Structure formats: C-alpha cells, structure tokens
Amino acid sequence: MSRKIIIDCDPGQDDAVALLLAFASPEVDVLGIATVGGNVPLALTHRNARMMCDLAGCDVPVFAGCDKPMQRVLRTAEYIHGETGIDGIDVFEPKAPLQPQHGVDFIIETLLAADDSSVTLVPTGPLTNIGTVIDREPAVLPKIERIVLMGGAMREGGNRTPSAEFNILVDPEAADIVFRCGRPITQMGLDVTHQVLSTKDRVERIRALDNPVADATAGMLGFFERYDMSKYSAPGAPLHDPCTVAWLIKPELFTGKDCNVAIETRSDLTLGHTAVDFWHVTDRPKNVHWVYEVDSGGFYDLLTERLATYGETA
C-alpha cells in the first residue's frame, strides 16, 4: 500500500528531482506540495514546483506556504541554484495552478482530517511551514506518521556556516519545534547526502534515457553541480533532497541509528547547528533516526530507473 506523503520544499534543483522521483514512485502517494521561502524566494519556489508538475504531467496540488522564517529574515542561495532557483532548464510559466489555500493551512487541514499516524511529512527546505503547523495546531501531531527531512550535519560540518547546514540555519526556531515535537524523525544530513554525488557518468546515464523529464533532470544537475564541485573539489554535487524520497521507497539503501539531535538557536557563532549525540553521551531522548551511510550506486540506479518510466508510453 502506498504511503501518504506531503512534500514541503524550496525548489531548488535537488528539491525538483525529489518531486520527480516521488511522482514516478507508486510506493508514495503525494497528497500535496507545500512550498517555502528558501533557496530562492517563495514566488519562485512555488513556480518551480508547479513547473515540475507540468513536466511530470501530474496534478498534485501545489500550495504557497511561508515566505520567511518564523523569527528571522530569509537567507537565500541563488549562488548555488541560480536566480531562477532552477537554472539548468528553460523556465516557463506553468499550467499547474497555485492553490489559493496557504500551505500551512493545507497541511493542518489535511492532517486533522487524517487517521492517526497516517501521513508522512517530507520537508526538504527550511522547516518554517512544518514548525508553524505544529506551533499553531499541536492537535495534528498524532496524525503524523513520521517526518523524513533533509537538513543538518554532523561530521560533514556546515555548508552555509562552519557549523550549520542551510535548511536548519535559515529557520533554527522552526527546526527546534520540529525536533522537539515527539513524532518519529528520519534525518538526511550532509553526512549522507554528500555520498550521493552526481558524477558525470551518472548524469550521462540519466540523459541517455532520452525523455523530457530525464533531459530536464540532467540539465538541472549540470547547473546545480558546478558550485559544490569547485568548493569540495568533488567529481559531482551532493543530490541532497531526493535522499528523503529514496529512503521512503527503498530504506535498505541507507544505514542509520537512533540518537538525540538538538538544534542551536542562540549562539551567533554556531546558530543552526545540529548537535547529533551519535555516541549517546547525554540522556537526551533519541528523537531522530540519524542516517549516515548510503549505497550511492543503488540510489542512482533507483533514480535512473524511475526517471526512465517517464519515457514509457501510457
């Protein structure tokens, strides 16, 4: 039976690939997409999400959520994703409509109407929408089966500051609410996402699928990779956000352990740091399944196999 999910994202090329993977995977049933200010401002993240719906030919409803963090100003990442947030493909005005309801209200309404532990939240951007949902309507908590998020780091260090990963840094107060909420969390931090590099042969294998969605994916990866390849002198860029969807489809590709993760919300120096108690040196609750290893070949096999389905005639 497919798992009901809500994807909360800030496309961003890697968020976009996570959407395309989810749309092509019967293991998940995407109830809706909420978008948030993050990699680029909200007006672009919801436009980019709707572009992916058009590309994939899917009618999943798209909602605009919060345009800035709960208490801070928005930091964006055009230096990685380009001014459009999705550089690497030609931007177009999508046919997929923007739903009139606010993304936070959509998530609250959907969860309140759901059975207990029946909906999985998949945030792949700053946690502003999810933190606001929990803060505004805690009655939703028993309805959340699990939160499978991309964010944070341990051994890998930060990617926006020496100690913080972008998604957590943008809205640490929202992240703190989410990590303290008591519902099961699976966390894909940089320690695992930096193992799934979009190397040349992997991108060429996707391009060779020769269908419009695979072409768009190869184009987006071709742009998205340039910043990280030069920063890390790596043979490809980390394909962060699709790790969340891949875990839902094929968890056996990943290795993790339950431990405590807490968020730094006060220090100017280490704001947004995810303190991962990997060796259980505190008595803090094990609130997170911290994922730290992945079969990267298997991950790209899965992604390529699912992108290939976009070329199959109906």
Rule CB under 6 A: which residues touch ligand RIB? 10, 12, 14-15, 38-39, 124-125, 150, 159, 165-167, 240-241
SS3 196: coil
Residue 68 interacts with which of ligand RIB, Ca ion, none, CB < 5 to 8 Å by class: none
Binding residue count for Ca ion, defined by CB under 5 A: 6
Residue 150 C-beta: closest distance to Ca ion, Å: 6
Residue 88 interacts with which of ligand RIB, Ca ion, none, CB < 5 to 8 Å by class: none
Q: Which residue has the tokens 């799934």?
A: 196
Out of 46, 81, 240, 289, pick the active-site residue.
240
Task: Decide whether 162 or 285 has the Cβ nearer to ligand RIB.
Answer: 162
Residue 165 interacts with which of ligand RIB, Ca ion, none, CB < 5 to 8 Å by class: ligand RIB
Task: Decide whether 149 or 213 has the Cβ nearer to ligand RIB.
Answer: 149
Burial of 41 (0-12, 13-18, 19+ CB in 10 A): middle
Task: Decide whether 159 or 217 has the Cβ nearer to ligand RIB.
Answer: 159
The reply on whether position 125 binds Ca ion by CB under 5 A is yes
Site string for Ca ion, 228-247 (x = CB under 5 A): -------------x------
Both tokens assigned to 216: 């768009």
Task: Decide whether 140 or 164 has the Cβ nearer to ligand RIB.
Answer: 164
Helices (H), 120-272: 128-136, 166-170, 172-179, 190-193, 200-207, 212-232, 242-249
240 assigned to active site:
yes
- Which among 26, 103, 5, 88 has a CA at the least distance from the CA of 51? 88
SS3 216: helix
Q: Which residue has the tokens 């930091």?
A: 75
The reply on whether position 124 binds Ca ion by CB under 5 A is yes
**CA 32, 35, 37 angle in degrees (round to 5)?**
170
Residue 49 C-beta: closest distance to ligand RIB, Å: 12
Q: Residue 63 in contact with residue 34, Cβ under 8 Å?
A: yes
Catalytic residues: 240
